[in-house]
């Protein structure tokens, strides 16, 4: 599964960082960095983060499958 964070909306509340620190991290005070490719063992935590995000900025989903025609 992949994620993308809408950083135009993200306000750096860092809920995601607390819930899934292996995927999300704050760089400095409020710049959010994250790993778009979610490891399987982090999926539950990332789902919780997506739900908890106060501005609903985290989108989780499958990528377009390669070779699709």
Partner 1 sequence: MPDDLREGRIVIVGASLAGLRAAETLREEGFTGSLTVIGDEPHPPYDRPPLSKQVLLGRMAADSAALPMRRDPDAEWRLGVRATGLDPVGKQVLLADGESVTYDRLLIATGTRARPWPNADEAALDGVFTLRTRDDAGRLTKRLAAGPRRVLVIGGGFTGSEIASACRERGIEVTLAERGPGPLVGALGGTLSMLAAGLQRAHGVDLRCGVTVTALRGNGRFTGADLSDGSRIDADVCVVAMGAVRNTEWLAEAGLAAGPRGVACDAGCRAFNMYGIVTDDVFVAGDAARFPHPLFEYQMLSLEHWGNAVTQAEVAAHNMVSPEPARRPHLAVPVFWSSQFGLNIKSVGVPTFSDQVVIAQGSLDERRLVAVYGYRGRITAAVTVDMAKWLEYYQGLIETAAPFPPGPGAADGRPLVAAFPVPSNVPDPKGLFHGPTVALTGHLPDRRLTVVRPAD
Rule CB under 8 A: is residue 56 a binding residue for partner 1? no
What is the CB neighbour count within 10 angstroms for residue 23? 22
What is the CB neighbour count within 10 angstroms for residue 46? 23
Residue 38, token pair as written in the block: 């979610």
Q: Map the footprint of partner 1 across residues 19-48, applying CB under 8 A.
A: 27-37
The number of angstroms, rounded, from the C-alpha of 1 to the middle of its chain's C-alpha atoms is 11
Least gap, CB of 15 to ligand SF4 (angstroms)? 4
User: Closer CB to partner 1, residue 18 or residue 30?
Assistant: 30
> What is the binding site for partner 1 (CB under 8 A)?
1-4, 6-12, 27-37, 59-66, 68-69
């Amino acid at each position: 599964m992949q994620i993308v964070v809408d950083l135009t909306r993200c306000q750096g509340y860092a809920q995601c960082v607390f819930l899934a620190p292996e995927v999300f991290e704050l760089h400095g005070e409020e710049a959010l960095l994250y790993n778009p490719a979610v490891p399987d063992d982090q999926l539950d935590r990332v789902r919780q983060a997506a739900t908890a995000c106060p501005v609903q900025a985290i989108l989780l989903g499958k990528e377009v499958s390669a070779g699709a025609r």
